[in-house]
């Protein structure tokens, strides 16, 4: 009962496409599904007293159940070859015993795409495509050989019952198509999951490439992009250059770990105050450059003053030590005809004017 529940759980995962199933789970689906088909066929051939096929199907069920031990120990390639050979042998034995017309050779056709999928997705061996190509070629030869065999031999058991022939042919066709559909769904599900994971990883890489790892602020590479975008827009923009006052003393007195705390929390305060009005970048060392998408001096001055006041009122603490820090900020508004470099230089000049005149102030 537990195995049946697990089997149904894996099938549900496949149908919903919400989760990737492992190689072990895939092989469990294959083993239990094929085993159930052979249990049904064993009952059919037992009823019609086709002894060789009855014995073969019973042995097949026992073989697949023993394969669960191989799957549990992740010996997946032997399980693949056992399944591959069993299906081909079963097709030949069925053709010899009762004839081609019952459709057992159709399972060989399903081996080709399923084999390519399994070999390609397994994490157990190199040269996966060579294995899949060779097995596909052998399956093709086996299918044609099975058909040729049916022309030259007379079946051992003459089952001249049209309803039985039609029903078994339909049953075998349905099973073949179900296996193909299930593995197609697995393939689509894994493609979707791989695409989602790739987008997620790309977003992470993009964030790592565009942000400063310590503060989480944009880095200079990203700010260069934002500055050129702002230059091409018609709305105008302003820059605020910020510098933490006496930051070297903080590092020298309390250590670089405390300095990192100050940088991170100043970055947090600055980001909160700027909000959606612009972009905040760690320009270098303890310098922060802010791009405000506004050329209104009152609005830019208000944001700068809020930053200065919140930093000055903030308590920076680490290991039961606490201090206050201040910021000096220089503002520059872009003017037509200026370059980005000139606008940054103007903000930097105003910043150092503030430094020379007592620090902890905003200069425009």
Q: How far is CA 355 from CA 22, 180, 239, 264, 312, in A?
A: 61, 73, 17, 22, 15
Inter-residue contact 121 to 188 (CB < 8 Å): no
Find the Cα–Cα–Cα–Cα dihedral 211, 213, 217, 218, rounded to 10°.
-20
To which H or E segment does residue 279 belong? Answer: strand 278-284
DSSP 184-197: HHHHHHHHHHHHHH
pTM of the complete model: 0.60
Q: Which of 158, 165, 286, 341 is catalytic?
A: 286
Inter-residue contact 335 to 347 (CB < 8 Å): no
Return the structure tokens found at 66.
């023993």
The domains of the chain, with CATH numbers, are: 2-207 (no CATH), 220-363 (3.30.70.270)
CA–CA separation, 122 and 22 (whole Å)? 9
The widest CA-to-CA distance across the chain, in whole angstroms, is 109
Residue 43 DSSP label: H
Inter-residue contact 273 to 310 (CB < 8 Å): yes
Inter-residue contact 325 to 222 (CB < 8 Å): no
Residue 41: closest CA among 126, 127, 102, 101: 102
CA–CA separation, 227 and 344 (whole Å)? 10
CA–CA separation, 204 and 200 (whole Å)? 6
Contact partners, residue 220, CB within 8 Å, separation at least 6 = 281, 282, 283, 284
Buried b (16+ CB within 10 A) or exposed e, 42-52: bebbeeeebee
What's the pLDDT score for residue 122?
66
Per-residue pLDDT of the chain (364 residues; tens, 9 = 90+): 454 555 555 555 555 555 556 777 778 878 888 899 999 999 999 999 999 999 999 999 999 999 888 888 878 778 888 989 999 999 999 999 998 889 999 999 988 888 887 777 665 556 677 888 888 999 999 999 999 999 988 899 887 677 888 888 999 999 999 888 887 887 777 778 778 888 888 888 887 788 899 999 999 999 999 999 988 887 889 999 999 999 999 999 999 999 999 999 999 999 999 999 999 999 988 999 999 987 788 889 999 999 999 999 999 998 888 999 999 999 999 988 888 999 999 999 999 999 999 999 999 8
What's the pLDDT score for residue 94?
94
What's the pLDDT score for residue 125?
55
Report phi then psi at 216, rounded to 5. Answer: 80, 0
Catalytic residue flag (residue 286): yes
């Amino acid at each position: 009962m537990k195995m049946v529940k697990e089997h149904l759980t894996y099938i549900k995962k496949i149908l919903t496409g919400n989760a990737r199933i492992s190689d072990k789970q895939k092989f469990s689906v294959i083993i239990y599904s094929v085993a159930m088909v052979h249990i049904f066929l064993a009952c059919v051939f037992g009823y019609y007293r086709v002894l060789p096929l009855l014995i073969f199907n019973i042995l097949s069920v026992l073989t697949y159940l023993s394969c669960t031990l191989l799957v549990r120990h992740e010996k997946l390639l032997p399980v693949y070859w056992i399944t591959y050979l069993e299906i081909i042998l079963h097709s030949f034995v069925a053709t010899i015993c009762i004839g081609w017309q019952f459709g057992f050779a159709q399972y060989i056709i399903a081996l080709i795409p399923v084999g390519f999928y399994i070999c390609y997705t397994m994490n157990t061996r190199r040269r996966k495509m060579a294995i899949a190509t060779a097995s596909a070629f052998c399956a093709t030869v086996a299918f044609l050989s099975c058909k040729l065999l049916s022309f030259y031999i007379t079946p051992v058991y003459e089952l001249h019952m049209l309803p039985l022939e039609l029903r078994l042919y339909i049953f075998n066709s349905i099973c073949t198509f179900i296996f193909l559909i299930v593995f197609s769904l697995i393939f689509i599900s894994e493609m979707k999951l791989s695409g989602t994971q790739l987008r997620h990883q790309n977003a992470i890489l993009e964030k790592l490439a565009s942000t400063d790892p310590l503060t989480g602020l944009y880095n200079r590479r990203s700010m260069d992009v934002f500055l050129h975008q702002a230059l091409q827009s018609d709305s105008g923009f302003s820059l605020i250059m910020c510098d933490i006052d006496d930051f070297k003393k903080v590092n020298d007195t309390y250590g670089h770990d405390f300095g990192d705390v100050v940088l991170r929390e100043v970055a947090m305060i600055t980001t909160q105050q700027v909000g959606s009005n612009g972009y905040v970048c760690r320009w270098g060392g303890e310098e922060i450059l802010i791009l405000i998408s506004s050329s209104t001096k009152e609005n830019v001055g208000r944001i700068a003053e809020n930053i200065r006041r919140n930093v000055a009122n903030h308590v920076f603490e680490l290991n039961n030590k606490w201090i206050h820090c201040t910021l000096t900020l220089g503002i520059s508004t872009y003017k037509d005809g200026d370059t980005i470099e000139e606008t940054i230089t103007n903000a930097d000049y105003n910043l150092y004017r503030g430094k020379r005149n007592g620090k902890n102030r905003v200069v425009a």
